[in-house]
Amino acid sequence: MDLERAQTVSLALGQEFLTWLWFASETSHGLFTARDGEVFSVTVEQKVSVQGGEGEARETAVCSGPMAELREARMGLVTGKKVNKAKLRVEKDEVSWQVLVDAASFTLQGLKTPKVSMTLEEGEDPDARILEKIYLMEKCTGYVDSVFARFLEIRFGADWPEETQRLRQWLRR
């Protein structure tokens, strides 16, 4: 497979993933299960970009705002566009992260972790705060990986046609 074809396939899979994730987060109350059995939630919020068309005819619609209902982006999905960027809120218990996911490159951008106090107690390891921050980043990426793994199971499994029917019904609501 040449590089251009690989990038096209990667973009299509990334867009399908983010589109499915938006659907799945709204129809399952955002609840997902990690490989180790941990239950966490993922919701699409504040910013979604949808894209459709090719080359000169490519159109992009971006919806954003603190409490945006993302109606315009959803209408873009109805007209055949696919999600190419989405801001996700990942939550586990009282801990939450925010991250922007780019479908084209499968990158996580602007990851916001829970706040970590940078005040050191006497005798405390100076690396402890940095290690805690790294741990929190790894937790978030692990949760996103779990959701992507679930998507791949569905996408390349026998239930995909049924899942796409449910997705279409969700769009019509």
pLDDT of 136 reads 96
Global pTM value: 0.86
Tokens of 14: 């990334």
> Which of 94, 131, 85 is closest to 114 using CA atoms?
94
Closest to 25 in 3D by CA, of 43, 39, 40, 38:
43
With contact defined as beta carbons under 8 Å apart, do 14 and 106 qualify? yes
Look at residue 12 in the predicted model and tell me its pLDDT.
Answer: 86
Element holding 92 (H helix, E strand):
strand 82-92
CA–CA dist 42, 88 (Å, integer)? 6
Return per-residue pLDDT of the chain as tens, 173 residues: 566 665 666 678 999 999 999 999 999 989 999 989 999 999 998 889 888 877 677 788 788 876 556 777 888 888 888 899 999 999 999 999 999 999 988 899 999 999 987 777 777 777 888 899 999 999 999 999 999 999 999 999 999 999 999 999 998 88
Sign of CA dihedral 87, 153, 28, 83: positive
For residues 69 and 76, give the distance between their C-alpha atoms in angstroms, rounded to a whole number. Answer: 13
Write the DSSP symbol of residue 69: -
Distance between CA 24 and CA 42 in Å, rounded? 9
